[in-house]
Amino acid sequence: MRQHPLGQTGLTISVPGLGCMGMSKFYGPADETECLDALAAALNLGYDFLDTADTYGLGHNETLLGRFLKGRRDRVVLATKFGIVRPYHSPDDSAKRRIDNTPAYLTAACEASLTRLGVETIDLYYCHRRNPETPLAEMIGAMARLVEQGKVRGLGLSEVSPETLRAAHAIHPIAAVQSEYSLWSRGAEDEMLQTCRDLDVTFVAYAPLGRGFLTGTLDPARLAADDFRRGNPRFQADALARNQRLLDGLAAVAARRNASSGQIALAWLVDRAPGVVPIPGTRRVARLAENAAAMDLALTPGEIAELDGLFPPGAAAGARYAEGGTAGIEVL
Contact 182, 19 (CB under 8 A): no
Nearest to 168 by CA among 107, 252, 101: 101
Residues noted as catalytic: 56
Which residues on adjacent β-strands are paired with residue 50? 18, 78
197: number of Cβ within 10 Å: 13
- Residues present in the chain in total: 332
Distances, alpha carbon 314 to alpha carbons 40, 191, 311, in Å: 38, 16, 8
Helical packing angle, 301-310 and 247-256, nearest 10°: 160
**320, burial (CB in 10 Å: exposed 0-12, middle 13-18, buried 19+):** buried
- C-alpha 180/C-alpha 129 separation (Å) is 13
Beta bridge partners of 276: 203
Can you list the alpha helix ranges (DSSP code H) found in 76-178? Answer: 103-117, 136-148, 162-171
Contact of 175 with 203, CB cutoff 8 Å: no
